[in-house]
Amino acid sequence: MNNLKEKISLFNKEVTFEKLGEFVKSINIDQLNYESFINEPQSQGDYGRYIHTLEPFECVLINWPAEVESAVHYHKGLFGYVLVLEGELDNISYELKNNQLIEHSIERFRRKGIAPEPDGIIHKLRNNSKNKRAITLHFYYPAIHSFEGMEIFNLEKCAMGVLSKNAKTAKWSQEQGHFKEIREKAFEFISFEKLNDNKSHHITYLNPKPSDFQINKMNAAYFGEQSMKYDFSDFNQPNRKLYIDSIDQIIASSIKEKKEVLKHLDIATGTGRRALRIKELSNRAYEIFGVDISKDMCKIAESRGLRTFHQDWANDDTHIGEFFDVITFLYAFGHLASEEARITTLKKIASYLTDNGTIYFDVFSLKNTNEWGRLADQSFDEKNMKEFGYQRGDIFYRKKGLNEIAFIHYFTLNEINLLMKKCGLKVTKVKYVGYSKNPGALVSNQQNGNILIEAQKN
């Protein structure tokens, strides 16, 4: 930390938002020995601050105990960055418009993540963990010598307060002398959940992108969290049910036309419901092998008579000792965390297909204007996500009302074709199927629906 202080003192440029960001990105946090500088909070529910330096810009070390958050506050006349040294920190942003305080985005920053705080932002920071602290370094210009004049918001009371020079943190407090002014019923609060009440899932940005291993664990936890009700909640949502039924019908019709089908490998089998339904629709007799990353999902599939393997198949296929006439990877291929993982998986699939075997998988289209594809495309450029390990089309999201976060990648048809060529597979059929708009209907192009791929060995 002393070396960081010296590095800050040698900063001899005009302090702008861009140049301060470049400075923060240059910090190697692996070389920071910050433990002895951590201050404990002065009161329950608060965070601890250690001011490292105030010139030429402020650097402050903050200790966030589990489930502690700042108040919603307004950065007026200052800008800065937050660098996460340990744990995770959520950045929740708001917009004040027509006397409504609207909660419009939630981003999660992990170790080495950098949260920008431009001048004019209204936001709060939150340690969402139930049992782990978060440690962050904050850089502000001009330095916050005092919280006097800072506006903070109480969401429960819809009150706005102006802090006094006696305020020690940007928290709503009953302590005498904490505020210069409080305005009751100053706004109407519109929560993120209310704003997106008609949506079942919400995007949550993670910075930087976790490793493939971490993403696999996240996906397993996400599906494990809803395993007992997955068939009834996800499969029975009207649009999704129409989409899934259509995909299953298309695949079953294709299987019905095959000369011989003895074995079917269903990757990401979930509860096994779809593999069994496709078999029933095809009116063919064959054995089904199911693989899933969620142990709870495998148990349910086994109870339905499938032979299942609880494995991350992209990294562990030790159970495979035979060949398959049909391999399906439905509603899940996009959960593979990187291009490298997709190539590994497709090469394995190619190696386990019989000579006349067929692979079927569906993906969300990056070009589809009705889904998150366009947002993923725009965010990749606007948020400089490549810099943080993202590939164009990467999205993290959570299900409404639940806690776990999952990953999915949106594709273009050209991207899929390039992947297949690298993996010894050739696309034999492509269909576009409506999802949220025209659910289950065959549509004309990837701008209007998800992409269903049928492929064989090259």
The DSSP secondary structure of 109-137, one letter per residue, reads E-TT-EEEE-TT-EEEEE---SS--EEEE
Q: With 80 as the cut, is the pLDDT of residue 23 above it?
A: yes
451 membership: H or E segment, kind and range: strand 450-457
Which pLDDT score, from 0 to 100, does residue 297 have?
Answer: 85
Burial string for 169-180 (b: 16+ CB within 10 Å, else e) reads: bbbbbeeeebbe
Structural domain includes residue 79: yes
Residue 110 and residue 210 in contact, taking contact as beta carbons nearer than 8 Å: yes
Enter the tokens of residue 452: 């269903």
Structural domain includes residue 324: yes
pLDDT top residue among 238 and 124? 124
Domain end position, chosen among 148, 173, 198: 198
Which pLDDT score, from 0 to 100, does residue 64 have?
Answer: 97
Query: Using 50, 70 and 90 to split pLDDT, how confident is the model at 361?
Result: very high
Which pLDDT score, from 0 to 100, does residue 166 have?
Answer: 92
DSSP state at residue 411 = B
Domain end position, chosen among 198, 233, 250: 198
Same domain, 168 and 282: no
**Percent of the chain topping pLDDT 70:** 96
Closest CA to 144 of 182, 170, 180: 170
Structural domain includes residue 366: yes
Which pLDDT score, from 0 to 100, does residue 187 have?
Answer: 97
pLDDT digits (tens, 9 = 90+) for 369-417: 889 998 999 999 998 899 999 999 999 998 877 788 999 999 999 999 9
Mean pLDDT of 120-148: 95
Residue 99 and residue 188 in contact, taking contact as beta carbons nearer than 8 Å: yes
Q: With 60 as the cut, is the pLDDT of residue 232 above it?
A: no
Same domain, 310 and 421: yes
Q: With 70 as the cut, is the pLDDT of residue 41 above it?
A: yes
Same domain, 162 and 261: no
Which pLDDT score, from 0 to 100, does residue 319 have?
Answer: 56
Same domain, 175 and 230: no
> Given the structure tokens 């904490």, which residue do they identify?
178
Structural domain includes residue 207: no
Residue 188, helix vs strand vs coil:
strand
Rounded CA separation 165/157 (Å)? 23
Query: Using 50, 70 and 90 to split pLDDT, how confident is the model at 177?
Result: very high
Structural domain includes residue 203: no
Mean pLDDT of 66-75: 96
Q: With 90 as the cut, is the pLDDT of residue 169 above it?
A: no
Q: What is the tally of structural domains in the chain?
A: 2
Strands annotated E in 234-374: 263-267, 287-292, 307-310, 324-329, 353-363
- What values do phi and psi take at 180, rounded to 5? -85, -30
Compute the chain's Rg from CA coordinates. Answer: 26
Q: At what angle do helices 339-352 and 413-422 cross, to 10 degrees?
A: 60
Which pLDDT score, from 0 to 100, does residue 170 have?
Answer: 83
Which pLDDT score, from 0 to 100, does residue 93 have?
Answer: 96
Same domain, 184 and 332: no
Query: Using 50, 70 and 90 to split pLDDT, how confident is the model at 309?
Result: confident
Same domain, 256 and 371: yes
Mean pLDDT of 241-262: 96
Rounded CA separation 270/248 (Å)? 15
373 membership: H or E segment, kind and range: helix 373-382
- What values do phi and psi take at 397, rounded to 5? -155, 165
Which pLDDT score, from 0 to 100, does residue 229 have?
Answer: 62
Which pLDDT score, from 0 to 100, does residue 192 have?
Answer: 87
Which pLDDT score, from 0 to 100, does residue 234 have?
Answer: 54
Same domain, 11 and 157: yes
**Percent of the chain topping pLDDT 90:** 76
Residue 61 and residue 137 in contact, taking contact as beta carbons nearer than 8 Å: yes
Rounded CA separation 170/265 (Å)? 55
Rounded CA separation 109/23 (Å)? 18
pLDDT digits (tens, 9 = 90+) for 277-291: 999 999 999 999 998
| Global confidence as pTM | 0.85
Same domain, 375 and 439: yes
Same domain, 152 and 268: no
Query: Using 50, 70 and 90 to split pLDDT, how confident is the model at 226?
Result: confident
Distance of CA 225 to the CA centre of its chain: 16
Same domain, 123 and 146: yes
Structural domain includes residue 126: yes
Mean pLDDT of 83-105: 95
Enter the tokens of residue 294: 């969620």
Structural domain includes residue 411: yes
Residue 365, helix vs strand vs coil:
strand
Residue 62 and residue 118 in contact, taking contact as beta carbons nearer than 8 Å: no
Same domain, 167 and 241: no
Which pLDDT score, from 0 to 100, does residue 310 have?
Answer: 84
Closest CA to 69 of 118, 111, 129, 115: 129
Q: With 90 as the cut, is the pLDDT of residue 124 above it?
A: yes
Rounded CA separation 353/398 (Å)? 34
Mean confidence (pLDDT) of the chain? 92
CATH number of the domain to which 397 belongs: 3.40.50.150
pLDDT top residue among 439 and 311? 439
Enter the tokens of residue 346: 């497709």
Structural domain includes residue 205: no
Rounded CA separation 78/76 (Å)? 6
Which pLDDT score, from 0 to 100, does residue 312 have?
Answer: 72
CATH number of the domain to which 22 belongs: 2.60.120.10
Residue 191, helix vs strand vs coil:
coil
pLDDT top residue among 302 and 318? 302
Same domain, 380 and 231: yes
Q: With 70 as the cut, is the pLDDT of residue 37 above it?
A: yes
Residue 388 and residue 209 in contact, taking contact as beta carbons nearer than 8 Å: yes
Rounded CA separation 254/266 (Å)? 16
Give residue 292's domain range: 212-457
> Given the structure tokens 């810009």, which residue do they identify?
57
